[in-house]
Amino acid sequence: MPIIRVALNVPVDTLFDYAATDTSKKDIGLRTLVPFGRKLLTGVIIDVTNETQVPPEKLKAAECIFREIPPLPTALLELFQFCSQYYHHPLGPVILNGLPSKLRSNKPVKLKEQQEHYQFSLTPAGEQIDAATIPARNRVSHRLLAQLNASTILTTNEAKLISPRALKQLTEWVKSGWINATAIPTATIPKPSSPPTLTEEQESAVNTITADITQFNTWLLHGITGSGKTEVYLRLIEKVLSQGKQTLVLIPEISLTPQLEAVFRARFCTTHLVNLHSGRNDTERMQGWLQALHGEAKIILGTRLAVFTPVANLGLIIVDEEQDSSFKQQDGLRYSARDMAIFRARQTETPIILGSATPSLESYHNALTNRYRYVRLQTRANKNAALPSIQCIDIRASKATEGLSEPLVDALQECLKQKRQSLVFINRRGYAPVLLCKSCAWTAACKRCTSRLVVHLRDKKLSCHYCGHTEKFPRACPECGDQDVMPFGHGTQRVEDTLTKHFPEARILRIDRDSIRRKNAWQNILKAIHAQEVDILVGTQLLAKGHDFPNLALVGILNSDASLYSTDFRASERLFAQLMQVSGRAGRANVAGHVLIQTEFPNHPLYHALQLHDYDALAQTLLAERKAAGFPPFVYQALLRAEAHDIKIVLEFLTKASSVAVPTQNIELFDPVPAQITRLQGLERAHLLIQSPSRKQLQLFLTHWYAQINTLPTRKIRWTLDIDPLEF
């Protein structure tokens, strides 16, 4: 009897053998339902063989093999295996977590057929029907007949609104000759939007990449904000579509999808495009996944997880805003979608474009050392658009009242007079980050995390933005009883209230994770902004990237100084990218842009480089600092992360793990230390850093060490290896 080797979603780095009848190598990549302990689990067949190390009396038989959809392509299975090996994570969870949730269930997938749309009308025989002859309990029939008599025509969608059972009843009436069913003709296909004339830089970029578009290359498309990177993407996609191939486009956040999807659909209105992200329901994601697998979807647009979408005929991969840390998963399988996309492109001999106005230092360094091919766009695509002027407001001299300095308030007032839009950027949601008692210096802290509770004054609650824990707003200080507990610092809600006091007539809109929770809220917000129904925007990093607001003239930036002296060596890089991105929202069309940054350090080199729009100057400085300090991209890092209810247990485990390591000359192990946020969601956390100047040697060491760690007792510990970590 053939043996199938199955990957299961269990935290064990091995495949499981099961007996199966009527199977062959063709079934590799299919899902199968197998017994595991007392449960049934769905897994994926990785191999079919005639040999097994499991004794015959212990070998269990597979319950069934699901064959309703084609097997996972070989290239996708190889991508999963590489991901498992590189990130040292069990293969089963890697594969199963990369599939739509409906494929992870223990049931066969029911594929919905595309339903045609009809319009129904009564025949002469149907007009003679007496409603009194229909039983009173058959309410659906009575409502359908009443609707047909009233409006003469009933469409499929209108019938569904009456009842889910309505179409079944109408089908019976068609057979009885009571009604006619006429197929509704397909709506007229809209004309594609006219492409703009390319600038010389855009045309050069398109021609350069197109010349090698049939082979693997990693291209870094470094274009300033507003330089028209999206138009370059569109021209390249057009070329790939003409070859009958598909394009995978990865973006860092859901908030960017509506605008980008609208641009793509306007240009490629006859092309099948699917959108894959966590905002889609399970059925929608499943349908899009299958359409990509079958080659029906020619453009696949999605966030991080979309990198594992099966694409039948891949011709191009685009990673927009490649520097964004959202491409790195921060729990479970800690993979980088950008890096997986590069491996996938190499695997399939497909070109990949990494686009950014502020590339990650790793990508920039790879471009400088010719590992990536480098294309630049240094002017804005709109001839009338210029880069915004950037000015620092020294709040040591111009004191900020309720978070806003007088020069910023005056600039907002002037903007309102000119009927231009403004954006006040503060990357902190809620009303205030701290609730403080001035009598005893008590601050509201989360009991489950090493963090303070954020004040949400309108909801009269305190909330932890790490674990989601909430508490009621206290009437008095729990330490000393003083009733004068006060919010300290500023968040988006407090800034919104302050702006409302200053400009009572202005239409102010706050945009953060709290305000876009409802479905379609983000799309409605974007429509309001473009319809000039908003005067002042108050927002977090949701507004910083990728959005095009033609009437936005002013950007005010608050509370950016905190990142200047962070212990995180990537803080300056991230701050510069964030400020460059948010500054780039201004002056993108015929409106001149102006940016005001409130700071106590106006002479800081980072702000100086920002004012000159000089990414290269800051990047070269940061690269020199990293090289001297021995930080990435000049070394490769991994973190052994561990967590438990007691920090002593965590540190003891990490010490044992360090003792079983056998480092070579190029491997450096550091001592275990508590994480920056030591307690998170009730668990104490610590980590151990490993680094090496050679990625290959680091991987060889980790492979051996990972096997050794698995032999350690871990009953009270959860641990994981984080390769190329971004957070410490």
pLDDT tens readout for residues 484-518? 888 988 899 999 999 999 999 999 999 888 777 77
C-alpha dihedral (74, 78, 79, 80), degrees to nearest 10: 100
Question: Do 697 and 636 touch, CB atoms closer than 8 A?
Answer: no
Q: 317-363, pLDDT tens digit by residue?
A: 999 999 999 999 998 899 999 999 999 999 999 999 999 999 999 99
Q: 372-395, pLDDT tens digit by residue?
A: 999 999 988 887 777 889 999 999
**Sheet with strand 246-250: strands edge to edge:** 273-276, 299-302, 246-250, 314-320, 352-356, 218-223, 373-377
β-pairing verdict for 3-7 and 39-49? antiparallel
Please report the pLDDT score of residue 190 as a whole number: 61
Q: 304-315, pLDDT tens digit by residue?
A: 999 999 998 999
What amino acid occupies position 152? T
Please report the pLDDT score of residue 111 as a whole number: 66
Q: How confident is the model at residue 189 (pLDDT cuts 50, 70, 90)?
A: low
Structure tokens at 132: 């009194």
> What one-character DSSP code corresponds to residue 140?
H
Of 712, 658, 711, 724, residue with least CA distance to 686? 658
β-pairing verdict for 508-511 and 536-539? parallel
Question: What is the average pLDDT across 657-674?
Answer: 92
Q: Which of 51-55, 359-363, 475-479, 528-532 has the highest mean pLDDT?
A: 359-363
Please report the pLDDT score of residue 115 as a whole number: 54
CB-neighbour burial class of residue 513 (10 A; exposed 0-12, middle 13-18, buried 19+): middle
What amino acid occupies position 650? V
Question: What is the average pLDDT across 222-232?
Answer: 91
| DSSP secondary structure letters along 385-405 | --PPEEEEEETTTS--BTTB-
Q: What is the pTM of this model?
A: 0.86
Question: Do 430 and 462 touch, CB atoms closer than 8 A?
Answer: no
Return the biggest CA–CA distance within the chain. 94
Alpha-carbon distance values, 295 to 289, 309, 317, 433 (Å): 10, 11, 15, 48
Q: Is the dihedral of CA 533, 539, 545, 551 positive or negative?
A: positive
Q: What percent of the chain has pLDDT over 90?
A: 60
C-alpha 640/C-alpha 659 separation (Å) is: 13
Residue 504's SS3 state is: coil
User: Does residue 633 have a cis bond before it (omega within 30 degrees)?
Assistant: yes
Question: Do 557 and 575 touch, CB atoms closer than 8 A?
Answer: no
Question: In degrees rounded to 5, what are phi and psi of residue 362?
Answer: -65, -45
Length reported for the chain: 728
Contacts (Cβ under 8 Å, ≥6 apart) of 307? 248, 250, 337, 340, 341, 344
Please report the pLDDT score of residue 563 as a whole number: 85
Structure tokens at 100: 């739509």
Domains of the chain in start order, with CATH, are 3-104 (3.40.1440.60), 118-183 (no CATH), 200-377 (3.40.50.300), 389-432+489-624 (3.40.50.300), 444-483 (no CATH), 636-723 (3.30.70.1130)
Q: 32-71, pLDDT tens digit by residue?
A: 999 999 999 999 999 999 989 999 888 999 999 999 899 9
Q: How confident is the model at residue 225 (pLDDT cuts 50, 70, 90)?
A: confident
What integer best gives the mean pLDDT of the chain?
90
Structure tokens at 720: 């994981």
Give the bridge partners for 316, in sequence order.
247
